[in-house]
Chain A
Amino acid sequence: MERATAATITLTVNGVAHSLDIDHRTTLLDALRERLDLTGTKKGCDHGQCGACTVLVEGRRADSCLLLAVAVAGKAVTTIEGIGGAAAGEALHPVQQAFLDHDGYQCGYCTPGQICSAVAVLDEHAAGWPSAVTGDVGAEEIVLDEPEIRERMSGNLCRCGAYVSIVAAVADAAGAQS
């Protein structure tokens, strides 16, 4: 059976459609960084364990290092460059502003992933999703308190250990949004 190992795909990133010739082995992370020069998304562990590569796919957060670009073709991808309006000289997203206000980073390498993840955490909470620390998994109202934020953000590691400020930033952004 004839076996092509590359394909021409359309990758829609931050609202812009890109046509790319890619080897099937290319991850979404590598396509973003190496082909589209969107280097805000970081490569940390490259095995789905650290969350530095977190982006939104169809509005849901995902580790881009474990997604094959060919499998994401046709779906809407949002990277840190597409969060908020800073690229167009407009206001930051409330989560971005909160990370600045609370100094929610040290070296900054995990920050794009943390922010993409936090944006999704607020949406997931607004949709009523429970977490592993939700006392009553069937509850209709869930308060996004510190244990909930820590659990929901646990897929994003920060080797500098800036977690205290990250939790404060997410809590602040959650309060501002509700």
Chain B
Amino acid sequence: MAHTGRRDAPELPDFSLLKRLARDQLIYLLEQLPGKKDLFIDADLMSLLDRIANVTTLKQHEVDKLYKVELKPIVSTSDQLCFLIRPRIQTVKWIADIVNSDKASGRFRRYKIIFTPQKFYACETVLEEQGVYGDVTTDEWAFYLLPLDDDIISLELPEFFRDNFLEGDQRWVTTAGSALRLVYSLYGPFSKVYGIGRCAKMVYESWRDQVEDGEQKARQPEIGNVFLIDRDVDFVTPLCSQVVYEGLVDDIFRIKCGSVEFGPEVTSSDKSLKVMVNSQDKVFNEIRNEHFSNVFGFLSQKARNLQTAYDKRRGMDIQQMKTFVSEELKGLKQEHRLLSLHIGASECIMKKKTKQDFQELLKTEHSLLEGFEVRECISFIEEHINRQISMIDSLRLLCLLSITENGLLPKDYRSLKAQYLQSYGIEHLLTFANLKQIGLLVEQQPGETLTVMESKVGKLVNDKTAGKLTDAFSSLAKKSNFRALSKRLVLIPKSGEEYDLRVPRDMAYIFSGAYIPLSCKLIEQVLERDGWTGLEEVTRMLNGHEFAVTGGTNGTEARIKTDPQRIILVMFLGGCTYSEISALRFLGREKGYKFIVLTTAITNSARLLEALLDNHA
């Protein structure tokens, strides 16, 4: 639309290759188990599988029946059972139960587990402990990367977030390293790697290790620089309401593996419709990065154009009509269909947002970001909780309050927690414990407490472990310092100035001009400075773990700004939001970069918080 920006942005590499690789590997694995077999697939692998293969592909390789893993007794009559699963202990236990009950009833079958993207020792131990090791063979489907769009690749590992940041389990570090390694061997070599965050550092190390072990053929790089960032470097951004079209669609309809299901209220028929939302959808592609306030205008303009195009038919002779039908009509009809779909979706978004008093909600969010009228914000949140409006939204506002204010005053914390438990269930005690652990919702600590405790414990142990303890405590002591960071990096544009959302002047447009996402601002700054020089104070407030290194083992290419140098891979560890992707696209247009987003999963405020809930068995 109104975007201009630099026209000389480089071309993106072709990622469809990743899909072919994954499909061929899967076929190979299926062929390792000749003969008819029933295939059990983990529920969260289904959409993923849909993107790279279809039922016919599976049938061609002697898959007889397909089942979803439901952790219930099975009904299959096949002699061979194959399980395609994520490496989870619970699922493996279920499989062991199946094998054991078959054994008990004297039934003989062959079993194979295909773990994706890799297996874990803990899973194999379950097989061993349950006495079925050897009865069950295992394999790995190294499917690390699913391209969701021209510029988005996902590991589709939502559990990465909770496992790593809440539980402190580093099981996915190597996985992320391998994923990066795969990108590197296909599209590298990289010339620079920047990063920030503890996990980012570990992933970098893992990747470097793997690269050293392997062989890199000299080739023309298609990706120049890499930026690794931990999700916990910036929790504020994913907790904000999204107001850019693609983000809104995700917040409201939940995009899953690049596809979304529009219900009857959108399709204006009695059926739901599943559609892919990506750059192939020409209408979507033009509005995805737009602030929602522009979308209606754009869609109605588009509708008028369409009408004009249809109207051309009038007064055509037979010959002209024939060309029209064969050349244009199909395209027009396609556009027509997409247009009515997105108009329907926009209407539905409007309706839902009006109903939940979105305007007031946004006002509170913006006040929190600015640190303005915080008391009023607290009473808004309180009332939100009292009226039992959306449990997740209440939690989201509480977390935003805590991060922006460096924790809640003890009295506020106690009162808000009590009211929350009254409104949404006392079992959320467990949720609050989790949020405290991860640092999203905490009480303000009187300054010294932690350092005192640290030195006390430090005296008890030797130096080496003391270092580790400090590490552990730093996660506890972790202050968000949001207000200071925001000032330093000028994340909040001056209020009072008119912000024209039609012609965005910076990345703040993705939040109605109220806030530049911290994650994207860091990326911008580091690329501009070619490192962290001058950002020392910022990194200190972010708890350090920043790095900037020359990647690869075979030396850098000449330091000219070639096209690949301007293609930047940003890897989000713990998930990234569509709003952040929109912001990076904007930044790319402004500075002549192309960003490729590699993320462990697409996230948003609801997914992020749901991963931390513990109110169910």
Partners in one complex: no
Interface residues of A (CB under 8 A from B): none
Interface residues of B (CB under 8 A from A): none
